């Protein structure tokens, strides 16, 4: 049953499963005005698909029309816009990791000051014991940002 739905969606969109997922990930990354534009186009495409494929379930047609709408809007983007969208998504992941490290900042201070661990070792510690893959350079940058401010205020 599930495979037939996947095949129906592939037939309608003429995109394999991986390409469909790429379009859906792009939809998640774009700004709200672009999402609204895509959804307006999706509505139009749904009605065209409904006329052409009246035997197909509406949920499959909805998904297919969304994927086709994202595909259509993606073609309007140039390489610079696509890279900017991907960079924005990457920056938001970095911000989430920074926030997680800030939540563990007492551990960072203890490991650095009392255990005399390097930032690389601290990053390894977080990967091993907290399942947090964080770059040592991110921890170092936060250290400079936070600990230097504390030392400056104390003096």
Please, where are the H alpha helices in 15-135?
17-29, 32-52, 58-76, 79-103, 105-109, 119-129
Total-model pTM? 0.56
Alpha-carbon distance values, 11 to 60, 65, 127 (Å):
11, 12, 42
CA 36 to chain centre: 19
Q: What DSSP character marks residue 54?
A: T
- Average pLDDT of span 114-142: 92
Task: Look at 8-12, 69-73, 81-85 and tell me which has the smallest mean pLDDT.
Answer: 81-85
**pLDDT tens-digit map of 34-73:** 889 999 999 999 999 999 998 989 999 999 999 999 998 8
Task: Give the pLDDT of residue 34.
Answer: 86
Report pLDDT digits (tens) over 15-38.
999 999 989 988 888 888 888 999
CA distances from 146 to 17, 47, 116, 153 (A): 45, 55, 18, 11
């Amino acid at each position: 049953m599930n495979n037939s739905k996947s095949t129906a969606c592939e037939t309608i969109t003429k995109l394999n499963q991986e390409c469909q997922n790429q379009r859906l990930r792009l939809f998640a990354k774009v700004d709200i005005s672009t999402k609204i534009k895509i959804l307006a186009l999706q509505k139009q495409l749904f009605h065209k698909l409904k006329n052409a494929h009246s035997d197909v379930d509406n949920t499959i047609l909805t998904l297919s029309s969304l994927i086709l709408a994202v595909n259509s809007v993606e073609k309007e983007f140039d390489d610079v816009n696509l890279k900017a969208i991907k960079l924005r998504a990457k920056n938001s992941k970095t911000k989430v990791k920074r926030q997680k490290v800030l939540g563990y900042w007492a551990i960072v201070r203890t490991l650095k000051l009392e255990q005399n661990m390097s930032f690389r070792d601290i990053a390894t510690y977080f990967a091993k014991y907290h399942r947090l893959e964080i770059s040592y350079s991110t921890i170092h940058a936060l250290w400079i940002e936070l600990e230097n401010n504390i030392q400056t205020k104390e003096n």
